[in-house]
């Protein structure tokens, strides 16, 4: 097997964010003998208020989410926070990125606004290949909306210059092609889920559910980031009139832009429990202790092409899921995956019907588990991504 030196460049904080697909993929690949270095962008929230600048740092992260994994994390220096921090990082990062690209066989790029331009130009100079891994329409996630147009221009440049682009949905593949990616260089590889973690059964109840007196209750669960388009406010505002049974509770585990709204709804609805952000280690127990999981995303430029990984986590745990039929999700899952689709306008009606149908809940859950195991196994899908990466690196390099 060819052992590669892989550089991963992303503009999110590798340590403070909950594990994303990139964490799972590259920790897994590191256990297969590949040397993985990650350049990230330290979250402002993780820095003391008095700290004006960050220094260059290199750290080894071992066994974080996967046993025997090892990631080398590199922090680029910058001055200031917010937009100023991004701009100074853009200026100061060039020599540090050049040093990292020089030592690697290939770069897997997740970043456009912070490191994309530098990685492309440096890689061209050093004749090193780049793969872009597309999860989202990046220009729609910029915190300063007025900069969205500039980020879209950078996207066009970066996608055009990459030797390969891997998208997680057909809709995202179409999007990168629309922005200039060469069609024969674009591949579609869906995200995967860690079957060993989420598929393992446990007879012990979730400590969080136990602490809230919810063990033995019928639980409708939402996990993950509370985006403005998450649809939860729409669902929860009518939940009391929809759910009559007193043993049914609605549990929300996550944080985000809608946190205050969801907290306010929960304070007035006795059977809505808002947990906020919970440790990743506790997510499996929450899902396994639930009766029905949901993802009621609204149609939004940030949601229609993507595919939320939480749905795969629900499926791997053998839990039935009710989700809205957004294109990215529907085209990846299809209509025979064990996941039930409902438009948001009819979501509560479908939710009530499903929570009161134990036979269908069981049937959907079993089907979902099989689908996750056969089509969305993290290890299999990571190997598929690795094969694309290896095609970009014809000359084997032994890791010392």
> What is the domain partition of the chain in residue ranges?
5-192+379-391, 196-376
Mean per-residue pLDDT, 91-100: 92
CATH topology match: 5-192+379-391 vs 196-376:
yes
Would you state the pLDDT for residue 270? 82
Alpha-carbon gap, residue 376 to 378, rounded angstroms = 6
Between 80 and 35, name the one with better pLDDT. Answer: 35
Mean per-residue pLDDT, 348-356: 94
Percent of the chain surpassing pLDDT 70: 94
Q: Which two tokens stand for residue 45?
A: 């929230």
| Phi, psi for 76 (deg, rounded to 5) | -85, 135
CATH number of 5-192+379-391: 3.40.50.2000
Would you state the pLDDT for residue 50? 44
At 240, the pLDDT band (50, 70, 90 cuts) reads low
The superfamily in CATH containing domain 196-376 is: Glycogen Phosphorylase B; (3.40.50.2000)
Mean per-residue pLDDT, 210-226: 95
Would you state the pLDDT for residue 18? 75
Average predicted confidence (pLDDT) for the chain: 91
Whether 194 has a pLDDT exceeding 80, the answer reads yes
Within a 10 A sphere around the Cβ of 380, how many other Cβ atoms?
14
Would you state the pLDDT for residue 53? 58
Instruction: Give the least confident one: 81-85, 112-116, 163-167, 304-308.
Output: 81-85
In sequence order, which residues have a C-beta less than 8 Å from that of residue 4 and are 6 or more positions away? 34, 35, 105, 106, 389, 390, 393, 397
Would you state the pLDDT for residue 195? 94
């Amino acid at each position: 097997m060819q052992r590669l030196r892989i550089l991963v460049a992303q503009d999110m904080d590798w340590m403070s964010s909950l594990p994303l697909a990139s964490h799972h993929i590259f920790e897994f690949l590191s256990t297969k003998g590949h040397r993985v270095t990650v350049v990230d962008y330290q979250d402002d929230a993780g820095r003391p208020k008095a700290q004006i600048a960050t220094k260059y740092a290199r750290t080894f992260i071992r066994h974080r989410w996967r046993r025997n994994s090892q990631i080398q994390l590199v922090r680029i220096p910058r001055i200031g926070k917010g937009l100023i921090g991004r701009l100074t990082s853009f200026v100061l990062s060039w020599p540090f990125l050049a040093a990292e690209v020089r030592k690697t066989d290939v770069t897997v790029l997740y970043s456009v606004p912070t490191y994309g331009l530098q990685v492309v130009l440096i890689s061209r100079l050093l004749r090193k290949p780049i793969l872009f891994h597309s999860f989202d329409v990046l220009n729609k996630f910029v915190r300063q909306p007025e900069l969205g147009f500039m980020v879209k221009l950078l996207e066009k440049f970066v996608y055009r210059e990459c030797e390969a682009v891997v998208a997680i949905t057909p809709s995202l593949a179409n999007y990168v092609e629309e922005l200039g990616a060469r069609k024969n260089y674009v591949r579609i590889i869906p995200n995967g889920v860690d079957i060993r973690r989420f598929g393992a059964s446990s007879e012990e109840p979730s400590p969080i559910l136990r602490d809230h007196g919810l063990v033995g209750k019928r639980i409708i669960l939402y996990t993950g980031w509370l985006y403005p388009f998450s649809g939860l406010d729409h669902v929860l505002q009518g939940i009391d009139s929809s759910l009559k049974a007193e043993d049914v509770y609605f549990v929300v585990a996550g944080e985000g832009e809608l946190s205050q709204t969801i907290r306010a709804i929960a304070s007035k609805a006795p059977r809505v429990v808002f947990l906020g952000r919970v440790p990743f280690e506790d997510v499996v127990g929450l899902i396994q202790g639930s009766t029905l999981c949901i993802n009621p995303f609204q149609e939004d430029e940030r949601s229609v092409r993507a595919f939320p990984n939480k749905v795969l986590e629900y499926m791997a745990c053998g839990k039935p899921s009710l989700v809205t039929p957004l294109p990215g999700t529907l085209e990846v899952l299809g209509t025979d995956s064990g996941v039930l689709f409902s438009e948001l306008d009819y979501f509560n009606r479908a939710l009530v019907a499903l929570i009161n149908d134990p036979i269908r809940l069981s049937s959907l859950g079993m089907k979902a588990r099989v689908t996750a195991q056969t089509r969305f196994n993290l290890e299999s899908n990571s190997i598929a991504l690795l094969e694309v990466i290896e095609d970009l690196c014809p000359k084997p390099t032994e890791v010392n």
